[in-house]
Amino acid sequence: MRRDRRAFLWDVRDAARNIEDFIAGLTYETFAADPLVRSAVERQFEIIGEALNQLSKIAPELANEIPDLPRIVAFRNI
């Protein structure tokens, strides 16, 4: 069963909000020194990339409206 394309957009929004929550109030130095926070943020970027990758497969017309989508998807592999 295919997921509704809105679910992928929801995943992107949720992951972006998680990133904001995880880094709220942190300096770069604090972020860089905390492997747990870095790992959590990296995982959210992976979720964003994968959700947009799947969205581009099931709803390319919608995915084309997202600026730099290929770069965002590729970022999850860095």
Report the half-sphere exposure of 42 (CA within 13 A, side-chain side): 10
For the chain, which residues make up each domain, given as ranges? 5-75
pLDDT at 3: 81
- The confidence score (pLDDT) of residue 2 equals 77
Which tens digits make up the pLDDT trace of 1-41? Answer: 778 999 999 999 999 999 999 999 999 999 999 999 999 99
Instruction: Indicate yes or no: pTM above 0.85.
Output: yes
Is 8 in contact with 55 (CB distance < 8 Å)? yes
* Arithmetic mean of pLDDT, 44-55: 97
Provide the pLDDT confidence category of residue 78 given band limits of 50, 70 and 90.
Answer: confident
